[in-house]
Amino acid sequence: MSTVTTPQLHISFDFAERLLHQLHAAAQETGEKSFLEAAAALQAEVDRQTQTVQPEH
């Protein structure tokens, strides 16, 4: 699996936050670690985009 990072691939932070909550809920319900791994990867990407995209105040 590879990660593609292009300017066109930005996702909304609201969508990412909802998806994170769903992934964590699914992980708790099923005990499936891949959900937590997916959530961690998504969180890392959101953090990366937040640092590079947000204007400084």
Q: What is the pLDDT of residue 28?
A: 84
* Calpha distance 8→40 (Å, rounded): 22
Structural domain boundaries in the chain:
11-52
* Calpha distance 48→16 (Å, rounded): 13
CA distances (Å), origin 7, targets 4, 10, 49, 53: 10, 6, 10, 10
Mean pLDDT by 10 residues, the chain (57 residues): 55 79 85 81 81 61
Report field, pTM of the whole predicted structure over 0.75: no
Q: What is the pLDDT of residue 39?
A: 81
